[in-house]
Amino acid sequence: MDRLHADLLVIGFGKGGKTLAATMGRRGRRVILVEQSDQMYGGTCINIGCVPSKALIHRASTQPGDTDGASWYANSVAWTASLTSTLRSKNFQMLDLLDSVTVITGTAAFFDEKRVEVTAGSDRLEVTADIIVINTGAQTMIPDIPGLRASKHLITGTDLLGSPNLPRRLAVVGAGYQGIEFAAMLRRYGAEVTVLDRAEQLLPAEDSDVAQAAEQILRDEGITFRTGAHITRVTDTPSTTMITYEVNGATSTIEADAVLAATGRAPRTADLRLDAAGVRTTERGAIEVDEHLRTNRPHIFAVGDVNGGPQFTYISLDDYRIVADQLLGEGKRATTDRQAVPYTLFMTPPLARVGMTERQARAAGRPVRVASKPIAAIAAMPRARILDDTRGLMKFVIDAETDRILGAALLSVDAQELINTVALAMRSGATAASLRDAIWTHPSSTEAFNEVLATVIR
């Protein structure tokens, strides 16, 4: 067996790992990055996550009037595949052009805490490194529903993004962010979509008024929701599948051409042989790390989705900053530094949120004021009318004593950008009044803050 040694070994080509590999390589450190598939150079985001899904969401709104949805979907999938191929190549070149970085395509597994085996077919390689960073991401969880895993019609988000065939009737299991994004996107291409979820409320993490506003938009788009639904069985027919479920004791069945599992993603650790390295995992299967992303083996770090943190690319990038600070800097950055981390559900219009919900703030005993207004009622937001989409609402949760913003939910055009301004204001300690009285460009969506924050509803 051949053997190689490096200053840094990165397992997985995700955002945090690849950025660390490039940084260390540019500083002349000997780096080896192992990725199990040449179709995943660059990581989940550009290949099977954010980039292709948001590209398809965007192209759903640009369909020419003389093109049917199924044809436009196939066209959009092909266009998106070309985009991700270009980005994949650029990501590979980013590392391949660095003389001190070697990219190896193969599967990595620990021999022990210092040695890693990389296999590719019959080829085997032993790699040792002073520092090892695990960056293997997460994978789709398939819920334990009788008949689901054996169904020929079961698909994942990855399957959808890679297939040019638009399902005529789609059943989505799970009404979380991934399920809603795919449901909204495929409905816009013309699929009949039914979403089933155990929770009584769509988007249960959101305040009820925000969730209800989002649900109404989606229902108006033609999506059917079955909340409070317990799926009891999935049964294939010769050409379709039947989903049997119960709501309040009553049994119903729907027929679908495809069933999308969208109940979350679990850290990808099964093939790493972590026990051989003595690396501990949490009860939920994530690699256990401290605030500096070190495992219980001080020379082994875990970054990105595999460490059980928020599953966002920008969190993986911040993981890189923390580890880089440990290896090259002062070692002061930590996960505990993170404040007001925003996120966005890319339905149309998008729902973006940061900080506490009203429910969370009141449960925590905070003195709360709330400013909220439907987009259609905001006179100082002409951009929504220019874009011909006045659906949604803006809601701010404010500390009644300090006037600091505790959280916000923005369901509107441009919400994915607006939320970053709110998050920055929260991190900077700005007051709601400062956003209310700020000078914003016109016509923009940001100027809605002037009006919404001028009215405290309760």
What distance in Å separates the CA atoms of residue 345 and residue 352, rounded to the nearest whole number? 6
Name residue 233's beta-bridge partners: 244
pLDDT at 457 exceeding the cut of 70: no
Residue 84 lies in a domain: yes
Q: Are residues 364 and 281 in the same domain?
A: no
Closest residue by Cα to residue 128 from 295, 8, 297, 274: 8
Q: What is the pLDDT of residues 323-368, one digit of tens each?
A: 999 999 999 999 999 999 999 999 999 999 999 999 999 999 999 9
CB 263 within 8 A of CB 285: no
Confirm if 304 and 17 have CB atoms less than 8 A apart. yes
Q: Is the pLDDT of residue 255 over 90?
A: yes
The dihedral of CA 31, 34, 37, 42: what is its sign?
negative
- Token pair, residue 129, equals 């490194």
Q: Which amino acid is at 388?
A: D
Q: Structure tokens of 295?
A: 């495992």
pLDDT of residue 174 exceeding 90: yes
In the three-class reduction of DSSP (H, G, I as helix; E, B as strand; rest coil), residue 235 is classed as strand
> For residue 67, what pLDDT is reported?
85
What residue spans of 61-109 are helical by DSSP H? Answer: 69-96
Q: Please give the residue range of the domain that contains residue 254.
A: 154-261
Rounded to 5°, angle at Cα 201 from 196 and 207:
145
Using the predicted structure, report yes or no on whether residue 33 has a pLDDT greater than 90. Answer: yes
Q: Which residue of the set 5, 58, 153, 442 is catalytic? A: 442
Within this chain, do residues 126 and 275 fall inside the same structural domain, yes or no? yes
Residue 186 reports pLDDT greater than 70 = yes
The pair of three-digit structure tokens given for residue 219, joined into one six-digit string: 């229902």
Domain membership of residue 144 (yes or no) is no
Identify whether residues 274 and 250 lie together within a single domain: no
In this structure, the answer to whether residues 101 and 170 fall within a common structural domain is: no
8 A C-beta contact, residue 231 and residue 218: no
Please tell me whether residues 133 and 270 are part of one structural domain: yes
DSSP state of 376: G
Q: Which residues pair with 154 in a beta bridge?
A: 259
Task: Assign 277 to helix, strand or coil.
Answer: helix
Binned at pLDDT 50, 70 and 90, residue 456 comes out as: confident
| Count of helix runs (H) and strand runs (E) in the chain | 14, 22
CA–CA separation, 18 vs 12, rounded Å? 8
Whether 126 and 9 share a structural domain = yes
Q: Are residues 36 and 112 in the same domain?
A: yes
How many domains does one find in the chain?
Answer: 3
Structure-block tokens of residue 4: 């190689």
Residue 145 included in any domain: no
pLDDT for residue 397 is more than 90: yes
Element (H, E) at 232: strand 230-236
Reply yes or no on whether 442 is catalytic: yes
Is 312 within a domain? yes
pLDDT at 2 over 90: no
Mean pLDDT over 145-156 rounds to 96
CATH of the domain at 370: 3.30.390.30
Cβ count near 216 (within 10 Å): 13
Residue 448 has pLDDT above 90, yes or no: yes
Non-local (6+) Cβ contacts of 112 within 8 A are: 276, 277, 278
Alpha helix positions (H), 197-265: 208-220
Is residue 257 in a domain?
yes
Task: Tell me the per-residue pLDDT of 12-29, one tens digit each, with 9 for 90 and over.
Answer: 999 999 999 999 999 999
Boundary (domain end) residue, out of 275, 307, 337:
337
Does 388 share its domain with 423? yes
The model's pLDDT over 194-243, given as tens digits with 9 standing for 90+, comes to: 999 999 999 989 999 999 999 999 999 999 999 999 999 999 999 999 99
Percent of the chain beyond pLDDT 70? 99
Query: What pLDDT digit, counting tens, does each position of 288-316 carry?
Result: 999 999 999 999 999 999 999 988 999 99
Nearest to 410 by CA among 402, 421, 399, 418: 418
Give tens-digit pLDDT for 50-107: 999 999 999 998 888 888 899 999 999 999 999 999 999 999 999 999 999 999 999 9
Q: Identify whether the C-beta of residue 266 lies closer than 8 Å to the C-beta of residue 281.
A: no
For 264-276, the pLDDT digits (tens) are 999 999 999 999 9
257/305 same-domain check: no
- Mean residue pLDDT of the chain comes to 95
* Closest to 265 in 3D by CA, of 107, 170, 142: 142
Query: Stretch 397-413: mean pLDDT, rounded?
Result: 97
CB-CB contact of 163 with 55 (8 Å): no
- pLDDT in the model for residue 455: 84
Q: What is the CATH number of the domain that holds 75?
A: 3.50.50.60
One domain, residues 33 and 182: no
Q: Does residue 79 sit within a domain?
A: yes
CA distances in angstroms from 249 to 110, 187, 214, 232, 243, listed in the order given: 49, 29, 27, 12, 16
